[in-house]
Amino acid sequence: MTRSMRMLPARGAVCAAALVIGALLLGGCGGSGTGSQDEGLSAAIAKTRASYQVLDLLTGNVHPSGQIPDLLSNPLYRTTSMVFRRVHLAGTVGTASGALGAGVDQGAAAVAPDRFYLAVFETTQAQWQVIAASTPWTTLISATAPEDVRVGDTYPAIGISLDLANTACQGYLSARNVHLAVPSDVQWEIAARAGTASTYAWGESLAPAVVTANALVAETAGATRGAQPVAGFAPSTLGFYDLHGNVWELSAEAHLRGGSWNDPVSTARAANRADIDSATRHLLVGVRFVYQP
């Protein structure tokens, strides 16, 4: 018998060792038997496949859900909780030749499917105060036009720079171990278009009645000044509110998306991107977060 052969353990010893190690691993995972493992796996799958994720901002607890029947009637979803909608779609970003915005927007391009959770509402002032413990909009109130800065729990948080939003996300991750982020341009646009190549979430129509039902922009604001409480207009096909109008929304690439109450509907088109410095704060700018399970 060679030296190398003498060093090999007997087959029975290998099997016994494997059984012992397996038992230890099972015990280390918190259970004996398949029930607890299956439950843990099911919970993990639910976190990435549920239609909605509801984040309790105060505790950091996240609850997957198939539907939210009281989305508009429950005030907590716009104050101390945040609801995220799952998006898993291929689609088109940019604008095709000959369409509204062609030559200004980037050219049309197909994008691969991406799975992410985007907040159903623009971040409200109440939600921002829980996440970041600050009120940046109060420093923007002007003595000459105080009506341009509306203050209230369900009004969108404004005066948010990209740097401020990223810092808030990092702070919340450290405090609650929940990963929030500013959406990428592709994520925002895919959600707005719901996998289509349409100019707006509602399609192509610029008929006054259609725009009035769907977005707070300059043409529909009339004498109204300032952003309005979130969810005041019809939702998109996927159930997102205020993707067009109310306030511009930040993207991770330092762009503004979706237009505002003070800008024409043409600027609110899904493909439009306006540049902004990462440190700039403005009364027309807010943010909508992505949740990363």
pLDDT, tens only, 25-34: 334 444 444 4
Mean pLDDT of 152-169: 99
| Model confidence at 94: pLDDT above 90 | no
Structure tokens of 50? 């549920």
State the helix-helix crossing angle for 162-176 and 125-132, rounded to 10 degrees: 60
pTM: 0.82
For residue 27, give every residue at least 6 positions away whose Cβ sits within 8 Å of its Cβ, in sequence order, or none.
none
Is the per-residue pLDDT at 241 higher than 90? yes
pLDDT of residue 22: 43
Measured distance CA(226)–CA(222) in Å, rounded: 11
Mean confidence (pLDDT) of the chain? 85
Are 176 and 169 a contacting pair, CB within 8 Å?
A: no
> What is the pLDDT, as a whole number, of residue 16?
44
Q: What are phi and psi of 31, to 5 degrees?
A: -175, 160
- pLDDT tens track for 42-68: 767 766 789 999 999 999 999 999 999
Residue in 85, 168, 110 with CA at minimum distance from that of residue 134: 168
The full DSSP string for 232-279 is -S---TTS---SSBSSEEE-TTSEEES--TTS-GGGGSTT--EE--TT
Do residues 250 and 258 lie in contact, with contact meaning Cβ atoms separated by under 8 Å?
no
* pLDDT at residue 11, rounded to an integer: 44
Identify the pLDDT of residue 96. Answer: 52
Q: What pLDDT score does 137 carry?
A: 96
| Three-state secondary-structure class, residue 47 | helix
The contacts of residue 232 (CB under 8 Å, 6+ apart) are 216, 241, 242, 246
Share of the chain above pLDDT 70, in %: 77
pLDDT band at 199 (very low <50, low <70, confident <90, very high): very high
146 vs 231, which has greater pLDDT?
A: 231
CATH of domain 52-291: 3.90.1580.10
pLDDT at position 162 over 80: yes
Q: Which pLDDT does position 145 carry in this prediction?
A: 84
pLDDT band at 95 (very low <50, low <70, confident <90, very high): low
pLDDT at 253: 96
Confidence of residue 98 (pLDDT cuts 50, 70, 90): low
